[in-house]
Structure formats: C-alpha cells, structure tokens
Amino acid sequence: MKIPKIQDLILFENDDLFVVNKPPFISSLDEREGGELSILRLARQYSADAQVCHRLDKETSGCLIIAKKPEAYRSVSMQFERRKIKKVYHAVVNGTHVFNDLRIDLPILNLGNKNVSISRQEGKPAETLFNSIKYFKHYTLIECQPVTGRMHQIRIHLATQKASIAGDEMYGGKPVFLSHIKRGYHLGKDQEELPIMKRFALHAKELTFHIAPETEITVTAPYPKDFATLLKQLERFDI
C-alpha cells in the first residue's frame, strides 16, 4: 500500500487542530505490536505533538480529528464525552431496509480482543439513529448517527436489524460481487472473482463540532475510491 502524506488527507486545519479523511486499512492509533503504519505516526511527522482525538476502525474511512496542542485535545475530548459532537456515517447494507429515524438503543458489552456483544444486563448504553438514503434492488445506503461511541456500535446495531454492512463478515455481512448484480457477467477461465470492495462498506462522512466557544464547523469527507466505486456499480446494475 502506498503511504499517504498527511497533508494530502487534510479536510480542515487551524492553529489548534486538523481533520483528515482517513484512508481505509490504516489504524487510527499505533497497534500494540508497534510495526504498522498509523494515522498517529503520520500526523506526528507533520505536527510533533499531534494527538488523535477519537478512533475509527482500521477498515473504516472518513473524518478523524487530530489535535496539535494538549488544550485542543482536551476540548475535543470533552465535546465527545458530553456528546456535543454530531457524527454522521454512511453504510451500504445487505438487503432493502426502510429506516425513517429508526432509533436503536441497545447496550453493548466490550468482551475484549475487539469483540463486542449486545447485553442488556452488563452492557454500556449505546444509541444510534438510522435513516435510509438510497434504495437498490439488493442493498440500501444508510445514514447512521451514533449518539454514543461504543466499539463497533454502528456495525452491531445494524446487524440486530438484519441489515449487516456489506462485507462485514464479523456481523453477518456479505461482500458485493459484480456477478451478483450484473446480468450476464462471466469470469474468464481460471479467474477468481474479487468483491467490488475489499472491506466493510462504512465511511465517517461528517463531523460537526466547536473549534471555539461560539464557532461550530461541519467537516465533510468525500467517499474514498472503493466506496464511490461500489455505489457507482450499484447505481448502474442494481436498480
């Protein structure tokens, strides 16, 4: 994978912080093993005291806030803690689903080792709002607004509605193959078909937060190439 320059990922920047459009397959923070590339490492090459204010799953792309100064880190962290930051994600899910302000309020228990489950007894409160944006024959583009910020929250909440994210095999999602949506599609002899998107289809589309007490901004992250390609193919062949 080509190593991106952090400057090429910046969507917004001021003296205190910057917001990047995180590419998929790069961790937000350093992994325990320490060898892999991370957004934090790239950010510190650009701004020595950089701190990542929240995290996205490795496969998830989109808006990520990075503080340049400790005060900015504290300010953003407090906004997250007090649920003052509006987060909007887009997901392509398996099946056709009509969600109009569907509010899922199911507690999530972190089992460790990147595993979570729904647990009404032991889980921590977790709330997500879902709205369908676009319908295809076999898939739906969903807008997801997590109120809380639990690990895998959007992914597991969608799975409880039998609307697993395409490609999210951990939660029952199936990858999208062109042969499933394009009539008359034939592979060449001895060719193995690869999915249109080699990860689960989740993108952190938008963040709205305060950069000063009286100044609120909204930052929007364009779809990365793989997500845009998936939507283009669905619009072409799955209507």
- Per residue in 143-194, pLDDT tens? 999 999 999 999 999 999 999 999 999 999 999 999 999 998 888 778 899 9
Other C-beta atoms lying within 10 Å of the C-beta of residue 143: 17
Count of domains in the chain?
A: 2
Look up the domain containing 185 and give its range.
86-239
Q: 209 by DSSP, 3-state: which?
A: strand
- Write down which residue in 67, 82, 97 finishes a domain: 82
The pLDDT of residue 32 is above 70: no
Phi, psi for 160 (deg, rounded to 5): -65, -20
- Per residue in 105-116, pLDDT tens? 999 999 988 889
Question: What pLDDT was estimated at residue 35?
Answer: 66
- Write down which residue in 59, 82, 105 finishes a domain: 82
Report the relative pairing of strands 202-212 and 61-67 from DSSP bridges: parallel
Catalytic residues: 57
Closest CA to 22 of 230, 221, 228: 221
Left if phi > 0, otherwise alpha if psi is -120 to 50, otherwise beta: which for 95? left
CA distance 24 to 204: 11
Considering the domain architecture, whether residues 69 and 97 belong to the same structural domain is answered as no
Considering the domain architecture, whether residues 76 and 136 belong to the same structural domain is answered as no
Considering the domain architecture, whether residues 69 and 92 belong to the same structural domain is answered as no
CA distance 205 to 20: 11
Q: What is the pTM assigned to this prediction?
A: 0.95
CATH code where residue 186 lies:
3.30.2350.10
Considering the domain architecture, whether residues 143 and 193 belong to the same structural domain is answered as yes
